[in-house]
Amino acid sequence: MTSLSDEAGPTIFHSPQNPPSLEFQRKILERSGLGEETYVPKAMHNIPPTPSMAAAREEAEEVMFGALDILFHNTNVKPKDIGILVVNCSLFNPTPSLSAMIVNKYKLRGNIRSFNLGGMGCSAGVIAVDLAKDMLQVHRNTYAVVVSTENITQNWYFGNKKSMLIPNCLFRVGGSAVLLSNKSKDRRRAKYKLIHVVRTHRGADDKAFRCVYQEQDDAGKTGVSLSKDLMAIAGGALKTNITTLGPLVLPISEQLLFFTTLVVKKLFNAGIKPYIPDFKLAFDHFCIHAGGRAVIDELEKNLQLLPIHVEASRMTLHRFGNTSSSSIWYELAYIEAKGRMRKRNRVWQIAFGSGFKCNSAVWEALRNVKSSSNGPWEDCIDRYPVKITT
């Protein structure tokens, strides 16, 4: 994982917005859960900001290549050995593609199976892992690399519509690179085994489809609008997702309680609340997408988690902000850096994204996992956790 080295600081005030919009963003920032060391790209530090295609490419290259350099160094895998490449970035999709930029930079082999996923939001990292998993089941004895990132440079909103200003306050630069293998010899040195991927798509519902929506405001300024219904829609998507995930991971006792209340409610239309399974019995660690403070608060409450279970998510939001699809990997790196990942521990990565989607990945640690060298928390883990002011 990597991030650019420019601090976010006063960037929010560099845009030609009216005073009410600036005040609105100031209030959002104060209670956002973000700290003072998150990153935005260089173009946003100029007065006025200078977003351009060249600057957006520079941001993408610095993030992706930085993460990949660390990955290849830590794993001793040569770029030429990579057989599958999956890149996901929702809002920046140049030609040639981001995946082609990586092929060119590292001179990957000519028969590489490369994919570039765009427009799929903050949950696309799990989708990319799922695609890589499917490809590895078909193509034997090879490596897959999944690169997850988002691009801020050309997607900062310079208008005054409140629902489109919120992403300015939450989204920050970041990215991750993950190596997957189906080679039997790699089991001895692998960190984790992928157990399950469960994907939920609510795009057939119009409200869900439009709750995270890129559009132009009345002044022609482009940005991403967040609906007031977002949390309710996310809750519905989560419910559908865990209905599928539950039978795969929960003890029988929890499954019986869950489905008994579900059947009673359906048959008798009883006014009883559905039973929320205790997922703490199935998982040792939780990596909840650091989409914002409200997202983490809601899942902590609905899944009846303890503060320790959402610590990685809150600290990732504080240190790095919402880095979109890569945030779940910063959270996993936090757990590793704290020395909490033990052999046979199970991890639940859960992410929400436009569409609207809720996606889960379940991993099992194959050994006691230590933090990788040059990790994102290397220079600051001793300062965390920090107290988040309300």
Instruction: Name, in order, each residue with C-beta under 8 angstroms of 3's C-beta and a sequence gap of 6 or more.
Output: 39, 63, 172, 173, 174, 175, 320, 323, 376
Quick check: 360 pLDDT over 80? yes
Query: What is the assigned CATH class of domain 19-186?
Result: alpha beta
45 noted as active-site residue: no
3-state SS string over 284-331?
A: CEEEECCCCHHHHHHHHHHCCCCHHHHHHHHHHHHHHCECHHHHHHHH
Which pLDDT tens digit goes with each residue over 309-328? 999 999 999 999 999 999 99
139 noted as active-site residue: no
| Pair of tokens at residue 348 | 């639940």
As its CATH architecture, domain 192-366 has 3-Layer(aba) Sandwich (3.40)
Which residue of the set 89, 116, 182, 201 is catalytic?
Answer: 201
Are 321 and 152 in contact by the 8 Å Cβ rule? The answer is no
CB-based burial of residue 190 (10 Å sphere; 0-12 exposed, 13-18 middle, 19+ buried)?
A: middle
- Considering Cα of 219, then 220, then 225, then 229, what sign does the dihedral take? positive
Q: Which helix (H) or strand (E) holds 64?
A: helix 53-75
Regarding pTM above 0.85, the answer is yes
Which residue of the set 160, 285, 309, 345 is catalytic?
Answer: 285
| Pair of tokens at residue 111 | 């028969």
Which pLDDT tens digit goes with each residue over 34-47? 999 999 999 999 98
Please give the sequence-ordered ranges of beta strands (E in DSSP) within 26-153, or none if there are none: 82-88, 113-117, 143-149
Which residue of the set 160, 182, 322, 359 is catalytic?
Answer: 322
Q: How far apart are CA 154 and CA 382, in angstroms?
A: 34
122 noted as active-site residue: yes
Quick check: 3 pLDDT over 50? no
CB-based burial of residue 227 (10 Å sphere; 0-12 exposed, 13-18 middle, 19+ buried)?
A: middle
- Rounding to the nearest 10 degrees, give the CA dihedral for residues 137, 324, 360, 147: 10
Q: How far apart are CA 29 and CA 23, in angstroms?
A: 10
Q: What is the pLDDT of residue 16?
A: 60
Are 108 and 79 in contact by the 8 Å Cβ rule? The answer is yes
Percent over 90 (pLDDT), the chain: 86
Quick check: 179 pLDDT over 60? yes
> What mean pLDDT comes out for the span 360-380?
96
Which residue of the set 88, 168, 289, 359 is catalytic?
Answer: 289
SS3 of residue 382 by DSSP: helix
Q: How far apart are CA 129 and CA 146, in angstroms?
A: 7
Residue ranges covered by each domain of the chain: 19-186, 192-366
318 noted as active-site residue: yes
